[in-house]
Every structure is written in C-alpha cells, then in structure tokens.
Amino acid sequence: MGNVEDDTQLVSTSVSGSTVSVTTGVAKSLGDDSTFANRFIKYGPTVRAPIEHVRRIVDVVSRAHMKGAAITAADVRGAMGDLAINGYRHALTMYGLDSDRYLGPADGLLTTEHLHKMRQWCEGEEDAPAHIPSCVGDPVMRIYKATVDGWKWLDFFEAVNGRSPLLLISKVADSNELFAIIIEGPIEVTGTAKSRSDTKSYAFKLQGTDSHPHVGYIGWNNKMSIAGTQDRVTPLIDFISPASYATAVLAAASFYFGVRPAAQMGQIGAPAAASDEIMKRCQGVVLEEEQADEWRQWHRPSVRLSDYGGDTDAVLLPVSVKGWHFDISELEAYKLA
C-alpha cells in the first residue's frame, strides 16, 4: 500500500476475510517500521487470527494514540475480556505487541487472579503490603526462574540483587501448592558475610490441594535475613529435629529457603560456600493465632517456641501438606516496580 504522509488517511488489513481499518497515525503510533504499522501498510493481504482478537488489540492501540499515552498491561488485559488467552497472545504477537510484557510470561506461576486474591485477603489487615499490583505484566515483570536460571543462591541473588519491591512465588514438589512472598526492600548480597535488614515481607498461600484446599494470608515479618557468598543464615530452629538447628540462605516472612540441617553440613558433597547452596529445600510456618478460621480444621503437628528457647509461648504450625520441610519444584521472582 506504500507510505502515507497524512496521519488521518485510512489504511486497512484483511483479517480472516474481514477488513480492519485505522488511520495512518494509529498504524505508525508504535513506530513507523513496527510490526503493527507494517500489518496495515506493507504486509498483506491476510492475517489468520480471530477478527475479535484483532479488533480488541487495534482498539487498545487506537485509544493509547488518542490519549497520547503508552499502552499498559491493564489496557491489554482489560481488552482481552473473556477471550481465550492463548489465542489472544497469538494475535498480540502477530501485531507486534509483546504478550509476555503485557500479560506476563506464558509459563509463569504468577497470575493476575493471584494478585486479586492477595489484595482481597489483605483488606482490613493492619499489617499488609503497601501496594499489591492489580495485574501481571509491565511493570510486574519476571526476573528469575529457577528451572531456567539455576537453583543456586548465586544464581538467585545475581538476578534479584538490588531490585525492589519483589514478589517470590514457589511451587511445592508433588503437592503443587503455591506460596508467594512480597518483599518491600531489596535483597542485596555485597560480600561474604550474612546480613539482617529491617525489611518487611508478607507471605501468602495461593493454592492448596484437593484434600487441604487452605489458602490465604499467612503473616508478615519486619526483619529479613540474607546469606552472603560464604556465610549462611544461622541458627534456625529445625522443627524436624527438636534438639538441632538448620541453616538457610534466605529468611523472609515465615519462610526459609535453602534449608540445610546442621547434621548435613559436614557431609560429602555439601557445598562449603553459601553461594553454591541449592534453594530447593524450604521450611514454612504460620502462627497458630494468626491462621485463617478455615485453617483451624486442618490438624497437623505444632511446636511452642518457648520449648526451643524462645521468649514467647507462641505456637507455630507448618503451612504445607508436606510438613515442616518441603522441596520446591519451581521458584520465580518478579519485580513489582
């Protein structure tokens, strides 16, 4: 069709036998040589995608152009409505819009529905995150995926170092339970030594099991402990071995990642440096008095902190059906801003 100088002139593309038209200004609003512009000006004659998908995407671009604003994840997700997400992703890609940027990664654990639930669970809570985004997609972007980027503490902190705020989401092996932690400050590793910061973190259970479908807000902590490249976070109470302690590489909210019982520290093959520790083994707890009412029918072992030298009689309970310790099969980190 060739280039058109007049931004108000109409240009068209054929989509599955139907015609979609926009002004040249709208077509070029994502760039003169963008895929979106070329669909109307250079390519042709037909795009094979459901016409309703394309119309909604074109409407998003047109509205952003009219307002002189950038396209947002909320714009793209809102336009999707009840359309099937896989087909919508395909149409976005066909028109040059990054579906992962606007809808979150297709293989991601975190969903917009999870964020909605977290916002709902925090309503009326005195201690809750300052902000929970409304949807996945820019600026909520995944910056780490353990099965792709590596399970070592080094792999993790190199990906998240200095980013803030963060959301960590993990999937429990075998049970497929999902847990999330919002961390309101950066995870920073600057040397060999472990550190402890006044950083608030909040924990949630996003998915239970058929037999134990318990979900909700678990609790918060105003301290976070971080391993260095050499030194682990220690000592932690190991609730599996009453008279023993464990180490970890990260302690946030009521979760500990990279848990290693003290008895295993000297074993052959155990990493000497914290940076080489694998983050799969976790320990997660909830205060008995802070668990949601529907959790109280879930009968499981408990411990009283005073029995472990604590200065409180608070009672702790495990949060996973796997018990005090559990392995995770996936761990992802998202930056929230």
pLDDT at 269 over 80: no
Strands 245-248 and 233-237, how do they pair?
antiparallel
| Among candidate residues 281, 278, 239, 146, the one with its CA nearest the CA of residue 270 | 278
Q: What are phi and psi of 178, to 5 degrees?
A: -120, 135
For residues 199 and 223, the answer to whether their CB atoms sit within 8 Å is: yes
What does the pLDDT read at residue 3? 47
How far is residue 90's CA from residue 159's CA, in Å, rounded to a whole number? 28
Q: Indicate the domain borders of the chain.
A: 10-103, 112-335
| Among candidate residues 294, 336, 286, 334, the one with its CA nearest the CA of residue 314 | 286
How far is residue 206's CA from residue 28's CA, in Å, rounded to a whole number? 41
What does the pLDDT read at residue 44? 66
The pLDDT tens digits of the residues spanning 159-199 come to 999 999 999 999 999 999 999 999 999 999 999 999 999 99
CATH code reported for the domain at 10-103: 3.30.710
**pTM (predicted TM-score):** 0.92
- Bridge partner list, 328: 172
Mean pLDDT for the stretch of residues 84-109 = 95
36: left (phi over 0), alpha (psi -120 to 50) or beta: alpha
Mean pLDDT for the stretch of residues 312-320 = 94
Q: Which two tokens stand for residue 310?
A: 């604590």
| Among candidate residues 321, 315, 267, 311, the one with its CA nearest the CA of residue 290 | 315
- Bridge partner list, 320: 323
